[in-house]
A and B are shown apart, each in its own frame.
Chain A
């Protein structure tokens, strides 16, 4: 019996036309974003966003940075599975996940640049004279910046291979392990710190969310989100480019995902019980509604993939991935926006401008991913590339 075909084939460029209906649509979204950004830089944040002193952080932080970077965590998770735990089966997923991570973090970094009011002083965060090392945000910024650099380095082999610079490629390959190791460490630090960021907000975060367990909860959920994002991207890629659906691998990933979802719920419930804040969960307001949505979404992968047979069902895998990713996003959006209360009377809802920039950034990320997949050796080459439906007896 032959093994799944693609595992024996090295990655190679997908080729094909870059500009399709889908990429054109994404391109339009990017252009709209650029227009909004021009306005933002000329007239200030107030001209395009609904940010105010009661809600100084909006979706550019809560969604693009916090959620966006968490969804990009697939890169380090798959790298951990493949190179630290030595589960070679995940190999084919490393490069796509790595690219997704790289562009996800670039997107997050760009979002920060657009959000900073005095962006021209951004370098202060990395300059000893200005650094304030007790600040969680300092740690997050330095960590994210370093990690993006590391991801860039980890992605360099693909580029070198495409260019045919094999000597350089070999040299880099020898020291790559250092960057892989750093690239596993850094996300654990800043992803958990994205949770710690909220601790100094003290009583302004609703009791259902404010806890010393925030770093742990953010870390556990981010790993799950990363895996879910990998499954999502793999599924969409296989459908969009008529490639085989890597059922086993994705099943394994979502298996880990559902265990993490379970772990998250256990930690969450334990935390709520120890702190004695369950009564808040039964009040009637937006915060509790978001809380229960989050719980349901985390429970979804566990329920959907309860039976072993179900864990091989592509539909269920996909839906579980979507639920897992949404669960993590709901948790983060709740913690940063919905559960944040700085005083009576303040209101916030993202403006059209903010939504346009977020959409544009995600589109940019997707476009970059697609471009790299087509031009660089990312996806494994398959023996029968565009024959989608060979009958089942082909294996025998």
Chain B
């Protein structure tokens, strides 16, 4: 005969297992492995030391993506198309770090430096993992992270999830959507490539296969600062180039390890912290989140097991052999 005490014990055990399964921290995020880069992955190399701040890339991006001019009311006046940041109508922006008199390029003190903000096209994107309706997807060949406005429900989970703060939302519209750089994927079939790279006069923004871009990075870093060398312009292997001086780079290549690696890589003459590029751990949060989910749910085994136990107990306790329904007052309170 089932006593209350033994029953309690049994349930406690069942609940306890489930609870432990939930509570037990995942030691290693191995449940879901790290994502690797497609060999044909394409991306951008932004070399801050070569950037001259002409902002032709902002204009070209707006034109290629049919984006409107942005109006900012700053303390110093009315500015049209001087975007403060990427937004619902700006997919790519150049920002300037300034210190003191700001006369020396790429100097920390009394200097200035340029930096670019646009989608990093991560190998393990948080936005792709977060989106509940597959509006954010990563192309398996090119690795471009795309946005499908027709699938989107506008929940902005991608906006909260992205550690680089890339996806932006058009809050001012009654039919809003997410905006982010998609590496000009619609121009690729026509033989064109990223507009920002195409128009850049110094090749500071360079388009190409990520493997080629990484080789170019190593080549530049191996040269002494000030060495005159040939810089490709537009796209790697596109034929356009010029001779210029190599910059003095900080050790770090931004995007190499961050979030498990990205397809857009940055070189800079000043520390990235000064450019407000966030410090991001090497393990992708998407990997951690998905591993934890897998661990807890074990392919839905744990929930079903729990459900079985609950169903059994509920059945037993809610059974009423021969008691009438409580249409009036009833002494037995066994039914709902």
Contacts and interface: CB of A to CB of B under 8 A. Distances in A.
A132 B11 CA distance: 34
B99 to A, nearest CB: 16
A32 interface: no
Interface string B164-175: 010011111111
Contact of A46 (B168, B172, B278): B172
Given A84-B313, A157-B336, A10 B288 contact: no
B165 A54 contact: yes
B326 interface: yes
B288 A137 contact: no
Contacts of A54: 165
Contact of B22 (A135, A215, A340): A215
A204 B285 CA distance: 10
B120 to A, nearest CB: 14
Interface stretch (B108-116, B218-226, B304-312): B304-312
Given A118-B176, A196-B293, A137 B333 contact: no
Nearest to B8: A85
A256 interface: no
A189 B303 contact: yes
Tell which of A45, A135, A213, A342 has the most Cβ of chain B within 10 Å.
A135
Contacts of B4: 86
Given A10-B330, A200-B161, A203-B278, A135 B132 contact: yes
Interface in A126-152: 130-132, 134-139, 141
Interface string B303-330: 1001100110111011110000111111
Interface in B1-53: 4, 7-8, 11, 18-19, 22-23, 25-26
Interface stretch (A100-108, A179-187, A313-321, A362-370): A179-187
Interface stretch (A170-178, A241-249, A289-297, A353-361): A170-178
Tell which of A53, A85, A213 has the most Cβ of chain B within 10 Å.
A53
Nearest to A184: B310
Contact of B165 (A57, A121, A342): A342
B271 interface: no
A139 B293 contact: yes
A366 B284 CA distance: 43
A157 B25 CA distance: 41
Given A118-B154, A188-B18, A52 B171 contact: yes
B286 interface: yes
Contacts of B60: none
B256 interface: no
Contacts of B189: none
B250 interface: no
A118 B153 contact: yes
Contacts, number: 237
Interface string A37-73: 0000111111101011110110000000000000000
Contacts of A10: 326, 328-330, 333
A258 interface: no
Interface stretch (A88-96, A279-287, A301-309): A88-96
Nearest to B283: A202
B285 A45 contact: no
A173 B133 contact: no
Contacts of B272: none
Interface in A177-224: 177-178, 180-182, 184-185, 188-189, 192-193, 196-197, 199-204, 211-213, 215-216, 219
Contacts of A43: 174
A35 interface: no
A149 to B, nearest CB: 16
Contact of B133 (A131, A161, A193): A131
A375 interface: no
A381 B326 CA distance: 12
Contacts of B126: 200-202
Main secondary structure of the interface of A (DSSP, over half): helix
B174 A196 contact: no
Contact of A216 (B23, B168, B172, B318): B23
B298 interface: no
A185 B303 contact: yes
B281 interface: yes
A51 B133 CA distance: 22
B264 interface: no
Tell which of B276, B313, B331, B336 has the most Cβ of chain A within 10 Å.
B336
B279 A216 contact: no
A117 B311 CA distance: 38
B176 A344 contact: no
B129 interface: yes
B45 to A, nearest CB: 23
A170 B323 CA distance: 11
A338 interface: no
A119 B155 CA distance: 9
B174 A44 contact: yes
Contacts of A135: 129-132, 157
A169 interface: yes
26 contacts: A9-B329, A10-B326, A44-B170, A45-B171, A53-B165, A83-B317, A88-B333, A95-B336, A117-B155, A121-B153, A122-B153, A125-B153, A130-B133, A132-B134, A135-B129, A136-B293, A177-B318, A189-B303, A192-B296, A196-B296, A201-B126, A201-B163, A211-B25, A215-B292, A340-B160, A343-B165
Interface of B: 4, 7-8, 11, 18-19, 22-23, 25-26, 85, 87, 126, 129-134, 150-157, 159-161, 163, 165, 168-177, 259, 276, 278-281, 285-286, 288-290, 292-293, 296, 303, 306-307, 310-311, 313-315, 317-320, 325-331, 333-336
Given A121-B152, A137-B132, A138-B133, 18 more contacts: A46-B173, A49-B171, A53-B168, A85-B7, A86-B317, A115-B155, A116-B154, A125-B133, A136-B289, A136-B293, A177-B318, A181-B315, A192-B296, A199-B289, A199-B292, A203-B163, A203-B281, A212-B288
